Amino acid sequence: MSTWPIAPLTASDLDFAVVDYGFTSLSANELAQLSNLESTMDYLLADCFTSLADQTTLIASMDGDLDDLDNILNELATDDFDQILADLAGIAVAGDNMLSDLGTAIG
């Protein structure tokens, strides 16, 4: 007689084999690549430290940029953000024109 959908467990279903995971069959061949792993990890750590140094510089420069933006917004002295954006766009166009004129004069 078969029980549907799954037959009940019996004592033989609970027999488990012992598996030895002692890794006693490893040889020097399997361990030979560790030096490459170590150099790769050293490279990745050095890259992380370089990235942290770059981020520190970036954060410091952004702090100055935020101070500059604060000064610009204080000079505009208005609560109308759309007007501030329009003024900044005009200032950017004027700066671009000045750079273009300088490039023409030099070039």
Q: Report pLDDT digits (tens) over 13-37.
A: 777 777 777 766 666 666 556 667 7
- Tell me: the pLDDT tens digits for 63-90? 777 778 878 777 766 667 777 778 888 8
pLDDT at 75: 75
Phi, psi (deg, nearest 5) at residue 77: 45, 55
- The confidence score (pLDDT) of residue 95 equals 86
Q: How far is CA 94 from CA 53, 91, 97, in A?
A: 35, 5, 5
Give the separation between CA 17 and CA 47, rounded to whole angstroms.
Answer: 46
Let me know the angle formed at the C-alpha of 41 by 36 and 46, rounded to the nearest 5 degrees. Answer: 125
Give the three-state DSSP class for 1.
Answer: coil
Q: Write down the pTM of the prediction.
A: 0.32
CB burial of residue 13 (10 Å; 0-12, 13-18, 19+): exposed
pLDDT (0 to 100) of residue 30: 60
The pLDDT of residue 2: 57
